[in-house]
């Protein structure tokens, strides 16, 4: 609809006024030549003040012509493809030795596990997978809607699960992104993403590759990176545990000094920002974790809107045909 042409409808009352005005002029002239009685008889046969039928046809044709020029339209929406039900979310859990630090109780790793459990409780209809990493990355649970599989395996994970030690965040992001490329239920779309990597770590990194560069690449691939930081900036020592999980002192450096590990929440949040997402601290609880889920839902809704094509069907020909019909009647009668 083009409301700019709505002023054309003013032609209808103007035309009506013009008809009355012209008839009154004719009536005024007739009074000069006819007596009141003769004029009354004449007007019974051929009324002038009241518009005649064919004049109504003219007014109707003008009205419908004005509507046609306004180009009425109807909006139709067509689905380009069926939207996927929910997101694809890969959780990357850090199992390096620093996650045994007890600057949060009972440990960073247990705090991270609790955050994952809380996150799963906030999700619905999303496919979630779990990966674990140090300097190597492994799939613990493939993408699934059965969150019970993840809940069942979490208690069994420890810093002894993977043989290699250290922390290579860039390699973990690369592995997670490649897994999503292969297994995502919807094509990866940088503009309207529906796949997410959730990095759960203390932020310490011993890898050689740039995490920031990899975070940007993940976003370019159509995946949003989010982070959950476990531990504190004040940090704490790394306990040395035996096979039964009992502590026997703390890790020391080459000079015999106790190693203090510090969580790097700022770097984790900066990494998430580069990856198009947001980061929170595990210590903030479910309220902060909900912000991650809210971001996911917001992006999913934007994607669903994009999957619909808007098309306008022109209807101007309907009032145009009616206008032509009344023009025909105007000349026919």
Output phi, psi for 59, to 5 deg. -60, -40
Q: How does strand 73-79 pair with strand 308-314?
A: antiparallel
The pLDDT of residue 326 is 79
The SS3 of residue 190 is: coil
Instruction: For residue range 36-86, list pLDDT tens digits in order.
Output: 676 666 666 555 544 566 677 777 777 787 787 777 777 665 554 555 568
Nearest CA-CA partner of 120 in 94, 140, 147: 147
pLDDT over 60 at 124, yes or no: yes
Instruction: For residue range 77-111, list pLDDT tens digits in order.
Output: 555 455 556 889 999 999 999 999 999 999 999 99
Task: Work out the mean pLDDT of the chain and round it to a whole number.
Answer: 83
Peptide bond into 86 cis (omega under 30): no
pLDDT over 50 at 191, yes or no: yes
Catalogue all structural domains in the chain, each as residue range(s) with its CATH number.
3-72+315-332 (no CATH), 88-308 (3.40.50.410)
With b for 16 or more beta-carbon neighbours within 10 A and e for fewer, the 40-54 pattern comes to eeeeeeeebeebeee
Q: What percent of the chain has pLDDT over 70?
A: 79
Give the DSSP per-residue string, 42-80: HHHHS-SSSPPHHHHHHHHHHHHHHHHHT--EEEEEEES
Output phi, psi for 52, to 5 deg. -80, 170
Mean pLDDT over residues 193-216, rounded?
92
Instruction: For residue range 224-245, list pLDDT tens digits in order.
Output: 999 999 999 999 999 987 766 6
Output phi, psi for 163, to 5 deg. -70, -45
- The two tokens of residue 21 are 């005005």
Distance between CA atoms of residues 104 and 228, nearest Å:
14
User: Which segment of 1-15, 110-124, 146-160, 179-193 scores lowest on mean pLDDT?
Assistant: 1-15
The pLDDT of residue 230 is 96
Distance between CA atoms of residues 305 and 303, nearest Å:
5
pLDDT over 60 at 252, yes or no: yes
Q: CA angle 14-19-20, nearest 5°?
A: 100
Asked if 93 and 199 touch (Cβ cutoff 8 Å), the reply is no
The pLDDT of residue 128 is 96
Q: What percent of the chain has pLDDT over 90?
A: 47
pTM of the prediction? 0.68
């Amino acid at each position: 609809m083009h409301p700019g042409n709505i002023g054309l409808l003013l032609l209808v009352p103007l035309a009506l006024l013009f008809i009355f005005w012209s008839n009154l002029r004719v009536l005024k002239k007739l009074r000069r030549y006819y007596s009141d009685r003769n004029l009354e008889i004449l007007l019974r046969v051929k009324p002038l003040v009241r518009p005649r039928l064919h004049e109504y046809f003219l007014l109707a044709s003008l009205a419908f012509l004005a509507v046609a020029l306004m180009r009425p339209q109807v909006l139709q929406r067509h689905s380009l493809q069926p939207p996927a039900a929910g997101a694809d979310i890969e959780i990357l859990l850090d199992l390096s030795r620093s996650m045994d630090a007890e600057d949060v109780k009972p440990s960073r790793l247990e705090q991270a596990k609790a955050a994952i459990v809380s996150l799963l409780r906030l999700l619905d209809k999303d496919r979630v997978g779990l990966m674990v990493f140090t300097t190597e990355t492994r799939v613990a649970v493939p993408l699934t809607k059965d969150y019970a599989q993840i809940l069942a395996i979490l208690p069994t994970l420890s810093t002894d699960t993977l043989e290699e030690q250290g922390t290579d965040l860039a390699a973990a992001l690369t592995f997670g992104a490649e897994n999503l490329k292969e297994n995502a239920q919807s094509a990866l779309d940088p503009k309207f993403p529906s796949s997410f990597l959730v990095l759960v770590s203390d932020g310490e990194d011993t890898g050689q590759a740039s995490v920031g560069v990899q975070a940007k690449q993940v976003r370019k691939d159509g995946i949003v990176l989010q982070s959950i930081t476990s531990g504190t900036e004040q940090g704490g020592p790394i306990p040395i545990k035996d096979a039964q999980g009992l502590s026997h002192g703390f890790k020391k450096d080459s000079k015999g000094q106790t190693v203090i590990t510090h969580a790097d929440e700022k770097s984790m949040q900066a990494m998430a920002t580069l990856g198009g997402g947001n980061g929170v601290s595990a210590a903030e609880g479910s309220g902060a974790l909900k912000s991650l889920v809210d971001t996911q839902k917001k992006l999913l809704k934007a994607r669903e809107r994009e999957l619909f094509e808007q098309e306008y069907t022109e209807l101007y020909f309907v009032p145009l045909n009616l206008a032509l019909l009344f023009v025909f009647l105007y000349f026919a009668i």
